[in-house]
């Protein structure tokens, strides 16, 4: 009687390997949260547009010399727009050099490819799908998208008023790091702004609120890591066996 061969089971990660990968991912998240950046700007309206990764990527991808020409973009904003796309490219290249990433390319494989075209062929679509599923890339994409919204607003105001706008400018920025580094930067336009005091007060309040949330987030990460370490199984300690007497004699305890 013929017996059918047993079906091959899909390989599953061992618990120790899965736990190691989870800790590595959590460690990267913790490293990303070790810096707090607070920026304060004044805008005429708050954009309620939702973050749609593919649309934001497409908007940043098509930032080129043609779209940033003087006919379409004020000269004082061209460098800012170009910097957004450069940051997107640097983040993409960093992922390509990450050995554990699906898009990894070794240094011996030649120059790094360009950003995948959002309207390109199947290969571009597959690479873009990997990018939009990466947490680090999404964080960078969200931040760049917010900066682009501010630049778009300044661009519209510039086209309407034909003068340098005062809205959409980041007037104050504060960066806090766990190593104790504190960096405060202020725009020169803030010094002569009619609401300078109000802007500084709002920025200080934003710092205090964000710092409390930041400390709570770090505390959550620390407690989560401590809980994981406590749940890890401890190595079994075996009782050492008695060594046999090489002479075969029985040891008698003296009375």
Chain segment 23-60, per-residue pLDDT in tens: 666 666 666 677 888 888 776 666 666 788 999 999 99
Across the chain, mean pLDDT equals 78
Tokens 């390109």: give the residue: 120
Cα separation, 103 vs 234, in Å, equals 37
In the chain, what are the domain boundaries? Answer: 30-230
pTM of the model: 0.55
Q: Which of 38, 48, 77 is nearest to 199 (CA)?
A: 38
Compare 66 and 237 and report the one with higher pLDDT.
66
Compare 235 and 90 and report the one with higher pLDDT.
90
**Mean pLDDT on 2-16:** 50
Give percent of the chain with pLDDT exceeding 70: 69
- Model confidence pLDDT, tens digit, residues 133-181: 888 899 889 999 988 988 888 887 777 665 545 556 788 989 888 777 8
| Contact by Cβ (8 Å): 94, 103 | no
Kindly tell me the burial class for residue 204, based on how many C-beta atoms sit within 10 Å of its own C-beta (0-12, 13-18, 19 or more). middle
Instruction: Say what the pLDDT of residue 156 is.
Output: 78
Angle at the Cα of 77 (from 37 to 46), degrees rounded to 5?
55
* Whether pLDDT at 10 is above 60: no
**Mean pLDDT on 211-216:** 88
């Amino acid at each position: 009687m013929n017996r059918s061969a047993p079906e091959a089971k899909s390989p599953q990660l061992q618990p120790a390997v899965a736990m190691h990968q989870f800790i590595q991912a959590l460690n990267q998240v913790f490293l990303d949260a070790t810096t707090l950046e607070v920026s304060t700007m004044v805008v005429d309206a708050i954009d309620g547009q939702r973050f749609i990764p593919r649309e934001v990527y497409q908007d940043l991808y098509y930032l080129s010399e043609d779209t940033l020409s003087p006919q379409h973009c004020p000269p004082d904003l061209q460098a800012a727009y170009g910097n957004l796309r450069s940051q997107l490219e640097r983040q993409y290249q960093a992922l390509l050099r990450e050995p554990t990433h699906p898009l990894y390319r070794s240094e011996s494989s030649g120059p790094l490819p360009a950003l995948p075209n959002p309207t390109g062929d199947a290969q571009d679509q597959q690479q873009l799908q990997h990018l939009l599923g990466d947490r680090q890339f999404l964080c960078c994409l969200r931040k760049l998208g917010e900066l682009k919204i501010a630049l778009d607003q300044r661009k519209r105001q510039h086209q309407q008023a034909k003068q340098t706008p005062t809205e959409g400018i980041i007037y104050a920025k504060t960066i806090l790091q766990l190593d104790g580094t504190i960096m405060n930067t202020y725009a020169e336009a803030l010094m002569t702004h009619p609401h300078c005091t109000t802007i500084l007060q709002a920025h200080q309040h934003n710092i205090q609120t964000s710092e409390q949330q930041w400390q709570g987030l770090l505390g959550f990460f620390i407690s989560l890591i401590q809980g994981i370490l406590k749940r890890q199984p401890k190595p079994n300690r075996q009782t050492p066996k008695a060594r046999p007497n090489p002479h075969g004699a029985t040891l008698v305890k003296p009375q």
